[in-house]
Amino acid sequence: MANIYHNGFRWIQNRNAPGCPPPIMILPVADDFAVKLTRGYPVKLISDGTIEDADPGDAVYGITDGVEQYYDGTVMRAGTALPAATSYDTVTGRQSRVRVIPVRGQLFRATVDENTTATTLAGYQAFVGENVEWAAGTASGDEAGCQLDISGHATTNSLSVKIEAIPDKETQDFTSTGVSLIVSFNLIQDTASGSTTGT
């Protein structure tokens, strides 16, 4: 039995308000951004107030959840991914804007990148509460290819992602690739409650 792949990071729930929909912010993207920005990819804020893709090990602000608007050179469009090198030139109304789920307080679902570090439910259960780094992977269409680098699981707090739980225990094939885990983010680019500075 093969596992169903969930490309990138998929929102599951708000840890503090489980019945609520995901918090969505619409944020501008750096102009003429060189990388196709796909759904489910971690992003970070940069100094001019726009966003760009995060790298593994970066403090993450949020996860992309679709494109609110972008200029294709002729007309304004919306969609699931922002094409690379999209530019609004100097017309602010054409600026690319992406839907982003801030990661603070949220739970996401992501798949692991191989099937040798663990091959049983008991093996994966031993990792719950530990931390891992994520890897960019290969995008599939308009969905991010991000996965969890499960071989690097550790109690080290400097890793970006924390393993919270194992969903669908009865139906996942733990000997196969694409095992899904529920995770949260440790390295967060956000302003702490009551603070006037970023953390």
Secondary structure (DSSP) of 165-195 = E---TTT--TTSS--EEEEEESSB-SBPTT-
Q: How high is the pLDDT of residue 4? A: 66
- Whether 97 and 68 have beta carbons less than 8 Å apart is answered as yes
Predicted local confidence at residue 138, as pLDDT: 84
Q: Report the pLDDT value the prediction gives residue 199, as an integer from 0 to 100.
A: 43
pLDDT at position 114 is 93
120-142 per-residue burial string, b: 16 or more CB within 10 A, e: under 16: eeeebeebeebbbbbebbebeeb
Q: Residues of the chain whose pLDDT is less than 50?
A: 194-199
| Average pLDDT along the chain | 90
